[in-house]
Structure 1
Amino acid sequence: MGRNYVIFILFVIISMAANIDMPKKVIDQIQTVTIAGHDLAEDDKVRTTVVAPFFAKEGELQDLYYTNTASTIYKNKIKLNAQASEQLLNAKMEVILYSKELAEKGMEDYIRYLLRDPSIGANLHLAVTEGSSKDILKSFETGKGTGMYLEDLLEHNVQHGHLPLADLKEFSSHLESKSRDPFLPMLGLKDGKPYLKALALFDEDKLVDTIPIQETGVFKMLYERVSDGQYNVSSSDFEVSIQNIESSRSIKAVKKDGQVEVTINVQMKGVIREFSKDKAVSRLPAIEKKVKSDFQKNARKMVKRLQELNIDPLNIEGYVKGQVRGYSKKQFEKAYPELPVHINVDVSLTESGARR
């Protein structure tokens, strides 16, 4: 016991000595940046705007804005610190925005610097802005702070809306995989307020197209497991709103007569929350059939659009190479634009919310 005690004391002393020269951050001498926006400026420079919340008095939060332009983000960091009365730190960063113009030129350089910053977490939210990110950041005031407000907007749409998960970890993973292309949410301004406008699709690190947010529910169910989704169907006979959707999907690839075919299987369970006619339960088989056919039609259209753009955010390539022996990347790239992709959907609906 005596020897172990001496070793423990020595370990504590060494640890304290090692930390003597470490820089100390006094809370009253720093400003924590919660959100940043990057826009393309003249001569291919970057205009960076950062927001740091400041408690003017007890219970009252005020956002402080700092903006500058430089050839790189780190040069901007030096210029921004020259404007602030305290040191600007990224330890509380929640969201980073990139203008559409910047995203169209390529995002990789603006993602790599985030991965090299140990103060930034992998679950950082990223988003593209339809116009200037600076305009989005300065478009509104909120008691919870701009960073937390936009983080909450993105987070609840991931958990309960049509937005698939697209944080720093996911985006960088897609870039590095070389077999699937990334995507990010796109924010716009409506009546002077920010809102979720679309899903931005990338070819490697360059933005090439967008999907309106109303259509991204189909993409999300093709891409990942959904625990609280929504789907609306209109027909000449009725309109129906399906809520609390739980879905799962699997992708199967087989080789038939020398040609590879892919099938995406989706299993969907949901609750009928609104129906334009009386007694939805009596029409349940017809509603399930309509939801199935409508989803299949929209899913086929979605996949065809991705093939025409020659992008693969669903990672079909990864499943094909993993399930078809000897199938190379070169073969997939040649076949992908015309690759047969079938959609199978199993729909199970109830008229009551009491289901588990």
Structure 2
Amino acid sequence: MRNKCLFIFMISLVLLSGCMPNQSVEEVAIIQIAGYDLGEDERIRGTVSIPQYGKSEDKASATELYLTVDADSVKDVEKEIKKQSSSPISTGKLAVSLYSREMAEKGLSSIIDVLSRDPRLSRNMYLAVVEGEAGELIKSGYTQEETTSKNVQGLIETNNHHNFPTSSLHDFLYAYYGQGMNPFLPLLKKQETFVELSGIAFFKKGKMVSMIPDSKVFTFKMLKENFSAGMQDLPFREGSIMMDNIGSQVNYKMKGTMDNPSFEINISIKAEVNEMLGLDVTPNPQLANEMEKAFVDYFKKEANELIKMFKEKEIDPLGLGSFAKTRRRDFDLTKWEEHYPELDIDVKVDMEITEYGIFS
């Protein structure tokens, strides 16, 4: 009897699988990247890229079709795009969603609501703010070897493993809806022959309120999370040093009461010096100690400047409020927000240079 039931079950699976729709990549318009700008009369201008595959379905040889529409909302953008496509539209493979800086500064709350509710979208997709027009960046078609989506997605993923902090849709939504934290997104800039990550955009209640250039991103990541990659250049004497991070760890400590809180941020870095420019020096222990002290002073200064800006903008991208909430039963968000601009935050940096490149 058991074998008979198993046989019937297997037959049913075969029959059911035969009823599933089977469409090739040529029959479906797969949107992998979308960009949004402010259009005329307060409308949204949406631009998408749709890979066009030949009969061989060789993804390496894909060209791209660009469609641009004006609509009243993000959902209407999809509806208007469908009117221009001869194939069914699919957003299940959407990997990157871009927003112009102008649009981000006006506010993305309504768009964020759509992103959080759409079950078709992967929480691992990337969001980014574009210096200039998002549609223009998408249409640039920088390389013939990969689509714009693959190019931008790879750019963000690669840098997330180095200087830039992680920034998926999941990360953004977690900080956006969480208490005691604010979200951030990478900033992209279109150059003549390539796209570059130019910095980080910080948000408050769905609006972009501040940014930092790429030269300060390493320090922000160092304050935000543990990582073991990335490089930082800093002036030293009459030249400069390039530091290669091989292990950075950050630890938060909350002190005081909710009426008078304070924070201690302890950062421990192990690094290698792989390049020195403009310096004619002889290696010695005193030079090594001098370099370590220079790095400590540099990172403390940079970190304090970032924290000062966060307080002035009343944003908490480090999530110190969220950390306090997990440590104090008497945590009160209103009280925390009142104290945050004057919060005493002491940054301590411990630096160890393990290799000196040309001085090995």
Q: CA deviation at 1:163?
A: 1.2
Q: Which runs of 5+ in 1 are unaligned?
A: none
* Matches of 2:190 and 2:125, distance apart in 1: 22
User: Relative to structure 1, is the Cα distance of residues 14 and 331 closer, same or farther in structure 2, using a 3 angstrom cutoff?
Assistant: same
TM-score scaled by structure 1?
A: 0.91
Paired AA for residue 289 in structure 2: P
Check if 1:344 corresponds to 2:348. yes
Once structures 1 and 2 are overlaid, which stretch shifts more, 241-250 or 19-28? 19-28
Separation of aligned partners in 2, 1:117 and 1:16: 31
1:35 matches 2:39: no
* C-alpha RMSD over aligned residues: 2.2
2:161 to 147, 159, 162: 159
One of 7, 11, 23 as aligned partner of 1:9? 7
Amino acid at match of 1:33: I
Task: Give distance in 2, aligned partners of 1:212 and 1:226.
Answer: 20
In structure 2, do the counterparts of structure 1 residues 109 and 20 end up closer, same or farther at CA, with 3 Å as the change threshold? Answer: farther
1:91 corresponds in structure 2 to 92
- Structure 1 residues 187 and 307: alpha-carbon distance in aligned structure 2, compared to 1, 3 A threshold: same
> 2:313 is matched with which residue: 285, 309, 313?
309
Structure-2-length-normalised TM-score: 0.90
CA distance change for structure 1 residues 286 and 54 in 2, over 3 Å: closer, same or farther? Answer: same
Q: Which amino acid aligns with 2:294?
A: K
Alignment of 1:165-180 (within 5 A): 165-180=166-181
Aligned pairs, number: 350
Cα separation, partners in 2 of 1:171 and 1:330, compared to 1, 3 Å = same
Give the whole-Å Cα distance in 1 for the aligned partners of 2:227 and 2:77: 40
* Equivalent pair of 2:26/2:54 in contact (CA under 8 Å): no
2: CA distance, partners of 1:325 / 1:342: 23
Does the CA-based 8 Å contact 2:26-2:52 persist in structure 1? no
Q: Which residue of 1 aligns with 2:252?
A: 251
Q: What are the ranges of 5 or more consecutive residues in structure 2 without an aligned counterpart? A: none
SS where residue 220 of structure 1 aligns?
Answer: helix
**Partner of residue 281, structure 2:** 278
The change in CA–CA distance for 1:56 and 1:15 in structure 2 (over 3 A counts) is closer
User: Structure 1 residue 99: deviation in Å?
Assistant: 1.0
Distance in 2, matches of 1:108 and 1:281, equals 56
1:94–1:233 distance in 2 versus 1, CA, 3 Å: same
Structure 1 14/106 Cα, relative in aligned 2: closer, same or farther at 3 Å? farther
Give the SS at the match of 1:64: strand
Q: Corresponding residue for 1:46?
A: 44
Distance 1:257 1:152 in 2: 43
Structure 2 counterpart SS, 1:86: coil
Percent of aligned positions with the same letter in both sequences?
A: 30
Is residue 253–residue 324 contact of structure 1 (8 Å, CA) maintained in 2? no
Q: Which residue of 1 aligns with 2:212?
A: 211
